[in-house]
A = this chain, B = another copy of it.
Amino acid sequence: MGAASAGRSQGIQRTTIKDVALAAGVSVSTASKALNERGRMTLETRERIQGIAQKLGFRPNAMARALVHQRSFTLGLLTNDTYGRFTLPIAAGLSAAMADRGVSVFLCAIDDDPERVRLNVETMEDKRVDGLVVSGKRIDRVLPVDLPAVHMPVVYVNAACPPGAIGFVPDDEGGAHSAVAHLVSLGRKRIAHVTGPRGFGAVGLREKGWLRALSEASLPCFGAALSGEWSEGFGYESGQRLIANREAERPDAIFCGNDQIARGLIDALTLSGVRVPEDIAVIGFDNWEIFATATRPPLTTVDMGLKELGRQAGLTLLDLIDGKPVEAGQRQLPCRLKVRQSCGSEAPSAD
């Protein structure tokens, strides 16, 4: 019990195909063929051997197979988003899709430290993973992965993808457009935009979606987008600022660049007696549930489909590994509006 028994990992001699062959009175090659459903042989022999394998609890050593097949059925996931909210959904989507296909994924946390990246890539190469998915936290930043040195297929998720490479990002512009179009359909006319720092690619795209939806509805643009930190604090300030004017000059809807901003902003409005959604409708971006559901009222927001992003990236990587032709370039996967209560119900009349 306890100490000793727990540590005896070497003690457990696992059943090998040799054991199976011996027990069945056949050669190892025959056993292999029987178990892999290859070649022709009497159904009876095949089933007998399979039965014995089952009885002995035989499970083929994946590394031995990998050695001969030159295919390990493993992937590496490199991510620099160690604490953020992106990696987990992406990793979950990826790993679930891969698990169904017998491929396992190594998690490599890199901290934007090129040395650490090198070390992890090296380890992944040593372990002979079949491919790499590189996942980031900004769609406009490329991770410090020295591609030329990587001898295997790579796919990027939620990160910039170098020329000629393959990547997956959420369709930020489309998501923003659908959010604003939703506000328009509810009859809102003065739709403001409060968002993150100018430097972010996502900020530009979301702003573009906002402007496009406005122009499609022939609505004037309500002031310039307010740009600041991705924080509740900035949302709070912005909320106060947007209601500083007298009522006629206030927006009747605000599209926020992320859920944290939206939350801070709603707090500011509520504290000043402005009602959400009656006076001002608010939409966020991210569908980070812990925020979106805790705002009062619960937040309508744009879901980036991160899980699906991870899934698609994995499936594409498998295609690449199988040598199937895959077009280079970045794909934008659709976002989906998640309607809660911060915009009120559907408008009685949309035009």
Contacts and interface: CB of A to CB of B under 8 A. Distances in A.
Interface of A: 1-4, 6-10, 12, 14, 59-64, 66-67, 70, 72, 74, 77, 82-83, 87-89, 91-92, 95-96, 99, 102, 104-109, 116, 119-120, 122-128, 130-131, 151-153, 164-166, 231-233, 260, 264, 267, 271, 289-290, 294, 319-328
Contacts of A14: 151
B109 A96 contact: yes
Contacts of A271: 271
B9 A60 contact: no
Contacts of A231: 294
Contacts of A88: 82-83, 87-88
Nearest to A14: B151
A143 B59 CA distance: 24
B108 A1 contact: no
Given A1-B328, A82-B92, A323-B7, A64 B62 contact: no
| Most chain B beta carbons < 10 A, residue from A116, A126, A326 | A126
Q: How many copies does the complex hold?
A: 2
A151 B12 contact: yes
Nearest to A116: B99
Contact of A107 (B1, B95, B119, B126): B95
11 contacts: A6-B153, A7-B153, A7-B319, A9-B130, A9-B152, A62-B126, A62-B127, A82-B92, A83-B92, A83-B289, A99-B116
Contact of A105 (B1, B4, B92, B106): B106
Given A14-B151, A61-B126, A95-B109, A325 B3 contact: yes
A15 to B, nearest CB: 10
Nearest to A320: B7
Nearest to A123: B104
A165 B59 CA distance: 25
A98 to B, nearest CB: 10
Contacts of A63: 63, 66-67, 72, 127-128
Contact of A320 (B6, B104, B232, B260): B6
